[in-house]
Amino acid sequence: MVDQSDGESTRVYSNGPIPLNGSVEEKLDELRALLGKADGDPLRIVGVGAGAWGSVFIAMLQECYGSFREKVLIRIWRRPGRSVDKSTAEHLFEVINAREDVLRRLIRRCAYLKYVEARLGDRTLHADEILKDGFCLNMIDTPLCPLKVVTNLQEAVWDADIVVNGLPSTETREVFEEIKKYWKERIAMPVIISLAKGVEAELEPEPRVITPTQMISRATGVPLENILYLGGPNIASEIYNKEYGNARICGSDKWRKALASFLRQPHFIVWDNGDLVTHEVMGGLKNVYAIGAGMVATLTKESATSKAVYFAHCTSEMIFITHLLAEDPEKLAGPLLADTYVTLLKGRNAWYGQKLASGEVNLEMGDNIKGKGMIQGVSAVKAFYELLSQSSLSMLHPKEKRTIAPVELCPILKMLHSILILREFPPEAILVALRDESMNDPRERIEMAQSHVFYRPSLLGQQP
């Protein structure tokens, strides 16, 4: 709804009015100035990857800043060729007809007929084609604004000022190695905002975590100073529907405060923090335990007690792992628990755990699931287990006085690895681990972690 009663154009949502000029344009001008953009030279923002969060993020920028066409160009890249099957086309047609605003928009754009034909099976739609009309294949029920879609990667990124990485962590390195070819002649490096929540394990020359921002820097040569991570307790569809959400952008002083201001909206609060890598690792870690939370919820028929007990155990393991990784882990408590909570409630990883436990999906289907995209918690389970089982990280158990690998203090992680990676047990085994009479009180694990004797700076590539 647009309200022009006070002479200033605003769009009113349940969380309050969002001004369409004035302060919004000022934020755009401030970012343009920081990037050294001259008059007549638009700020070029491109999203790489069109999953749910990547598409919503670019659509959110398009809605907020897209009307300033002389000052900013916003586009998104996705691979061409992925077709939309008939059942999805039928569902998409139902979504279109249930939303009068979307229906009218497609009719005005002369695009409605192709969705009729697709529903009838007379035409095959493609993911890049429907994205131009505002439909993300991983989030059909949430129509977005129309987007400028580019399927040629070189065309998308070669002159970009800001690149938003919306790829899964498992695809980030490969795509950015390709992008490097197109940046060889660049004088100034772009600013990169990574939305990816996943990690890899690097075991030689010593065990350490590799994050998407590190993958990007290695692949492209862009300094880490120019690469930031954005994550937080939010669900993509809720953010686009103007429900309240927040995030934290982490990285160098040079960029993060200006970008936090640029991204902030009344319904989407963006904070900033200088601790890039640790926040990024935590973003991957909570996906690990979200899968188990989904399993427990389904297997216990949403038992509040079982879910609470699981939450106590998984958060105590996360706190323990945080103390391995961070010198000042207490600073991460708020964002880590908030992001974990929302992911356990409504994230795709929790959904995946639910569907595994109910038998609606199985491990043979892989971790890229139709209609949901990449389930990044699966690869994260493997990475964290490999890292924390390395003998070079062994420590003295503070109570039992024996040498153990860190993973021995993480029974939930161990069981998830046995279920998802080794496939030794069915999903029901998560309850066996949860109800094991020998399992220690999670309070004891937290107390051990808080002794600060476990900190391993080498896990993040830092010097002790």
As annotated, the active-site residues are 286
> What would the two tokens of residue 383 be?
């990475």
Cα(80)–Cα(129) distance, integer angstroms:
9
- Cα dihedral across residues 133, 138, 141, 145: positive or negative: negative
Whose CA is closest to 322, among 440, 209, 155?
209
Please provide the DSSP assignment of 253-270 as one string: HHHHHHHHHHH-BTTEEE
Residue 410: is it exposed, middle or buried by C-beta count within 10 angstroms (0-12/13-18/19+)?
A: buried
35, 64, 154, 257, 370 from 160: Cα distances, Å: 11, 19, 10, 20, 30
Write the DSSP symbol of residue 361.
S
Q: Coil, helix or strand for 403?
A: strand
The DSSP element (H or E) to which 130 belongs, if any, is helix 127-132
Specify which residues 88 forms β-bridges with.
none
> What would the two tokens of residue 235 be?
């669900």
Q: Coil, helix or strand for 51?
A: coil
Whose CA is closest to 339, among 438, 231, 417?
231
Residue found under tokens 């755990």: 353
> What would the two tokens of residue 71 be?
């000052």
> What would the two tokens of residue 154 be?
């070189």
CA angle 366, 198, 365 (to 5 degrees): 5
> What would the two tokens of residue 298 be?
């389904």
Specify whether the backbone of 74 is left (phi greater than 0), alpha (psi in -120 to 50) or beta. beta
Q: Under 8 Å CB-to-CB from 61, ≥6 apart: which residues?
A: 45, 74, 263
CA angle 18, 13, 57 (to 5 degrees): 70
Q: Under 8 Å CB-to-CB from 337, ≥6 apart: which residues?
A: 315
Q: Coil, helix or strand for 186?
A: coil
Residue 331: is it exposed, middle or buried by C-beta count within 10 angstroms (0-12/13-18/19+)?
A: middle
Q: Which amino acid, one-letter code, is at 352?
A: Y
